[in-house]
Each structure stands twice: as structure tokens, then as C-alpha cells.
Amino acid sequence: MTASPPDPEATAVAARDLRFAWPGHAPVLDLPSFDVARGERVFLWGPSGSGKSTLLGLLGGVLEVGAGELQVLGTPLHGLRAAQRDRFRATRIGFIFQQFNLLPYLSVVDNVVLPCRFSSRRRHEALRQSANVDAEAHRLLDHLGLKGALLERPVTDLSIGQQQRVAAARALIGAPELLIADEPTSALDHDARGRFLELLLGECATAGTTVLFVSHDTSLGTHFDRQVALAEINQASAP
Amino acid sequence: MSALGTIIGLATRSLYNRRGTALLTVASIAISVALLLGVEKIRTEARSSFASTISGTDLIVGARSGDINLLLYSVFRIGNATNNISWQSYQDITSRPEVAWAIPISLGDSHRGFRVMGTTQDYFQHYRFARDRPLKLAEGKAFSTVFETVLGANVAQELGYRVGDPVVIAHGAGATSFMEHDDKPFTVVGILARTGTPVDRTVHVSLEGIEAIHVDWQQGARMPGANVSAEAVLQMDLQPEAITAFLLGLQSRMATFGLQRAINEYPEEPLLAIIPGVALQQLWELVGVVEIALLAVSLCVVAAGLIGMLTAILTSLNERRREMAILRAVGARPWQVLMLILSEAGLLAFCGVALGLAGVLALSAAAAPWLENRFGIFIGLQVPGLFELAVAAIVVGAALVIGLWPAWKAYRNALADGLTIRV
């Protein structure tokens, strides 16, 4: 199977013959071709064992590409050293995880502005939106339905739904071009899940952020532009 | 905000979030540092107090025994002389041309636990302690007649004596004595200013005074029926037949060794002359073993404090893998995770050292009067000196070196876990 070479301007993610194996083990990931267009919101259905963690590790630049090519936002990750991948992740990608995304010892706003502390570009982008990073955090939190006295509470006092919205604001601050969400709704009840997705996707649409949303819950797929089953495209996990 | 500033800020807030265990760690480091600094402070102060017990004296002469024994009884009022020196020998040696001054010392009696020393007015004129400091009278005057006494500062303070009070001297050196020279009381005529030396704990009388109270005594007991009244004794010849020891000041220090040899080879009587500085050094070396042991123990306590910190950080690492993964996801590099743990170790040690330093300063301020009174050790209230700063730097430095271990472990975890949160 061959695929056309990716267009750096139009694709957010382009994998070509991407393979990864832990030393001494059989490959856990083998993607002949996988593309996500810029601005596209993709639902990646990935039950456990489908190679999901590995793909996210590769996209986030935490794992080193074993073989093949992985281009993210026009940057070939397979050609970067660990430190360069770290910098790339910090500036270009926002992450949301399953739960307990927040540092318990920081306030809501301080949690949100964290990426601006580690990336001058994220900080710079945040300052294009608001007078200072705290104001930008407030703006994003407000868009995600968090305001007032709630922001003064310790993050551990917030409900899981509220915590996930704080995590979403953090992933979005400083306008990263790609948002990777890994099961962010699995700890939420049905109503909270719908509301969270609506707010998150709405904010991403406004900012033009590409979304790669990973979940095992297929019922969420309808909120997205496109649905992909990781098990089907990953040759390594095929039975 | 710089990257390192961010990291230290995060470390501070992370520690504050775990302030219970963090405070215990800080406290254990603080106590260990305070102990080390306290021991060192007392050690150096004791040493300098010790070295400044006597000054200006070139030779101490006594009956032949050991150097340290002679030093102990003549200067520190500890122990007893094995033998006396005849007045004749004293006259003979002090009349030599090299001798500038001499202070005779006659010991053997006490007053309520304080040693009584018979001497002459030369004592007040020539005795020096610390760096050539002379004795000063805080009140009254030096003794001039037989039944007058001058008290050391502690004697006067502890027994509540004022100038004009009567003092009865007991025979022997014990704290309580059943044999008192109660028929011949002395009058306090002067009280010396505090010196921080054994002088403070001495009752000074004239040689004639010592002689006078022993006129009707023989073999350590009062001769039955031979009571000589205080008035009658003044009419007698009170020239002593023997003294316990004497201090010599020479015209020239160059003569010290020559005279020392001459005295040690004195044909008429077995005598011993010692150089105070040399004997003090020998004595300090004996005490020095304890001193080194004390220092070694306090160093071990500092090590224990730092190991406690290491344990606390290492045990916290596993429950903080999530924290590291979150930091990695928001852009922290693995070396920044390493710096986070390292700065925690640094912060804990810094707070511990600061607290320990403050503690030891506060404690020495509080204990200074007591130490001075009880042991004659002066603890100056100085700002942290070079030694304190060096200890502070070394402890924080050691904490950082030790902190490299958990920091490296966190770094490895951060690399292995990546963005996957392991619980």
C-alpha cells in the first residue's frame, strides 16, 4: 500500500509506514498511512491494546519513531532529537488526559497558564489574545463555562467535569495548533460528557485548532468530522 | 519568568502542598545543623577560654610531679599538690637575675567549696589572663593585712558576699568541712571583676593569713590546748615555711628554657618548672579526644538529617509520577523534572540550615549568661561567621549532591512514563 506524500501546509498529522516496537518485542504500531488535515476534528476509536498509547507517545514526541515517517504540523518528528521533540510538544500541541490532569498545589489559573511558563511561543500567542497570561486564562475558562468564585477554589475541590474544563483551557492556552485528547470524558457522566465536548469543540473551532480525540466510547464519534478505528489502520494489532 | 525560576516556584509550591512532611524534614536538618554549630561554637569557645586561663606567666614552678598535675592545681585549682616548696627555694630562685616578678601560691584550704589561695600583693599586680588582661577589682581593694580576703566574682555572687562580710575558712578542700578555722575569721575587703577563669572561683588571702590560721595546727588537726588567739597571732612571725607553687615572669622570654632547666635540676629540692602554654596544649590534647568525638557525632547527626531528607524525597517520587507526567505534557523537559527534584532538596536543606542557624543563635543568646556563670565560657553574640556560612554552604551542597539520586530517578521515570500517567 502506498500513499501520496503529505502536503505540509494542509496536513496536521501525516504518518507513512510508521512503526514502533519496544526493544525485543513484536511491533505494537504499524501504520501504513494516517493523515489528519489541518483544522479537522478526528475521532480516533481506540480500545485498550490498539496501540493508542504508543501513537500518542509518538505524536507527543515522547517516543522515538522506530521506522517510517511521522510529520506533525509540517515538522518531521522522525528527524528530531529528544530535546527538539520536547520543545516541539511544548509549543505546538495541547494535551488533555483522562482525569486528574491538574497539579493539586497550583490554583486554577496557575494550572491553566503552565504551558506559557515552559514555552515562550505559547506565552507570546496568549499575549496576542489578552493583556497578560492570567487574563487569557480567565478568558478561556470563561468560554468553557468556569468563572467567578469557582476559580478561587483549590483544584481538588472542583468536580471532575470542572477539572476537565480547566485542563481543556490549559491545553488551548497559547493557541497550540493541535489538540490531543486522550479519553478526557471517560470519568464524566452522560450529560457532563455532552456539555464538555460541545464547549471544547466549540472553542477549537473558534481557534481553528486541529483535534485528535481518542476514546473507546464510539457513541461520541458523531460530534466529529471524521471517525477512524485505530485497530483497522494499525497493522500490528490486526489479529 | 525564567525556566529555572518557574521550576523553583513549582518546587516551593509542591513542597508547601506537602508541608507536613516537608516541615519534619526541615526540622531534622535544622536540629542537626544547630547541633553541629552549637558543638563547634562551644568547642572553640571552650578552647579559647581554656587557652586564656593564664597569660603573661613564663614559668610555673611546683614540687616535682607531672606537668599537667602542676598546671591543674596551680592554675585550675583542680587536684592537690604532692609536695610543697620550701620558702628557702622560693627565695633562692626568685632572686635570680632573669626573674622579673614572682607570685607565690599556697593552697590547701577552702571556703564552702571554693579553694582558698594564699598569695601576695604581686598577684594583683602581675597576674594576667586572656590576652594580657590584668585582674581588676570590681569592689573594694586588695588585701593588705593578715585577716583580709579578696573574693573571685563567682564566690561573691554565689555566696552573696559583700565587702565587709566575715569569711571563715575551712581546712582541706572539700565542700563541707567539720574542721574550720572559725577562731580566726577573715573580712572581705575586695571583690574581683569577672575573668571567666578559675580566678572567679578562688578566695584570695595573704600568705601570712594562711600561716596565721595554721599556727596552732599540726598534721592537719588543731593541736589540743594550743589555741592562739587572732590578736596574739599577729604578734608572731608569719613568714611561711613552705608554699605550694609559684608563677614566674622573666625579664626576657629568651631566658625561659634556660631557667626551666636550672629549676628542674635544682639540687636542693626536687622541683618542676613548666611553660604554661605548652602544658595547656598537652592538657587540651587530652580533652581533644572528647572534642573530636563530639564533632564526629554531630557530623553523623547532620548526615542522618540529610538521609532523612533523601528518604522523604524518594518515597514521594512514586506518588508524584502523575505530577511529572502532567509537567511533561505541558512542556517540561526531562532535565526540568530533574531540576524540580533537585531544587526541592536544595530548598529543604536551605530552610533547614536557615532555621538551624537561627536556632543556634537564639539558643546561644539565651544560654550565654548561664554558660558564662557556670563554666566561665564566653559566647560572643556575633553574626554568623565564616564557619557558619561554610557549614551552611556545605550542608546545602551535600543536599544537592544527595538530591541528584532521586532527581535522576525522577528523570528516568519521566523518560519512561512519558505522557502516560501511571498510578
Q: State how beta strands B245-250 and B99-111 pair.
A: antiparallel
Which residues of chain B make contact with A89, given a CB cutoff of 8 A? 329, 331
A142 CA to centre of own chain = 21
- A151-165, B106-120, B225-239, B290-304: segment of lowest average pLDDT: B225-239
Q: Which residue of A has its CA nearest to B11?
A: A105
Output the nine-digit C-alpha cell for A29: 504500531
Q: What is the mean pLDDT of chain A?
A: 87
Q: Does A22 touch chain B (CB under 8 A)?
A: no
- A202-206, B239-243, B383-387: segment of lowest average pLDDT: B383-387
Q: Does A88 touch chain B (CB under 8 A)?
A: no
3-state percent breakdown (helix, strand, coil) of chain B, nearest 5:
55, 15, 30
Residue A212 φ/ψ, nearest 5 degrees = -120, 110
The pLDDT of residue B333 is 84
pLDDT surpasses 60 at A2 = no
Q: For A61, left (φ over 0), alpha (ψ -120 to 50), or beta?
A: left
pLDDT surpasses 50 at B145 = yes
Q: How confident is the model at residue B112 (pLDDT cuts 50, 70, 90)?
A: confident
The pLDDT of residue B283 is 86
Q: How confident is the model at residue A188 (pLDDT cuts 50, 70, 90)?
A: confident
Query: B81: closest CA among B45, B105, B57, B97?
Result: B105
Q: Is the pTM of this model over 0.90?
A: no
pLDDT surpasses 60 at B1 = no
Q: Which residue of B has its CA nearest to A89?
A: B331
Q: What is the 3-state secondary structure (H, E, C) of B65-89?
A: CCHHHHHHHHHCCCCCCCCCEEHHH
Q: What would the DSSP string read from start to end of B258-326?
A: HHHHHHHT-SSS-EEEE-HHHHHHHHHHHHHHHHHHHHHHHHHHHHHHHHHHHHHHHHHHHHTHHHHHH
Q: Residues of B186-207 as b/e, b for ≥16 C-beta within 10 angstroms?
A: bebbbbbebbbbbbbbbbbbbb
Q: What is the mean pLDDT of chain B?
A: 87
Give B21-40 pLDDT, tens digit per residue.
999 999 999 999 999 988 88
Which residues of chain B make contact with A119, given a CB cutoff of 8 A? 331
Which residues of chain A make contact with B6, given a CB cutoff of 8 A? 117-118
Nearest to A106 among B13, B329, B419 (CB): B13
The pLDDT of residue A26 is 85
Query: A15: closest CA among A209, A183, A230?
Result: A230
Q: Does B297 touch chain A (CB under 8 A)?
A: no
The pLDDT of residue A239 is 46
Give A41-92 pLDDT, tens digit per residue.
999 988 877 788 888 888 988 888 888 999 999 889 888 888 888 888 888 9
The pLDDT of residue A1 is 44
Q: What percent of chain B has pLDDT over 70?
A: 91
Q: Does A89 touch chain B (CB under 8 A)?
A: yes
Residue-level length of chain B: 423
Q: A147 CA to chain B: closest CA distance, Å? A: 23
Q: Residue type for A80, please?
A: L
Q: Which residue of B has its CA nearest to A98?
A: B421
Give B406-420 pLDDT, tens digit per residue.
999 888 887 777 776
pLDDT surpasses 90 at B127 = yes
pLDDT surpasses 70 at A238 = no
* Most A-contacting residue of B316, B330, B335, B344 (CB-CB within 10 A), to test interface: B330
Q: A86 CA to chain B: closest CA distance, Å? A: 6
Check residues B90 and B220 and name the one with the higher pLDDT.
B90
Q: How confident is the model at residue B258 (pLDDT cuts 50, 70, 90)?
A: very high
The pLDDT of residue A237 is 61
Check residues B330 and B205 and name the one with the higher pLDDT.
B205
Output the nine-digit C-alpha cell for A85: 521533540
How far is the C-alpha of B21 from the C-alpha of B83, rounded, in Å?
A: 64
8 Å CB contact between B119 and B206: yes
How far is the C-alpha of B372 from the C-alpha of B350, rounded, in Å?
A: 31
Q: How confident is the model at residue B376 (pLDDT cuts 50, 70, 90)?
A: low
Work out the average pLDDT over B77-89: 90
The pLDDT of residue B223 is 64
**Burial level of B156, CB count in 10 A (0-12/13-18/19+)?**
buried
Give A90-120 pLDDT, tens digit per residue.
889 998 887 778 999 999 999 999 999 988 8
How far is the C-alpha of B82 from the C-alpha of B47, rounded, in Å?
A: 28
Nearest to A89 among B10, B16, B331 (CB): B331
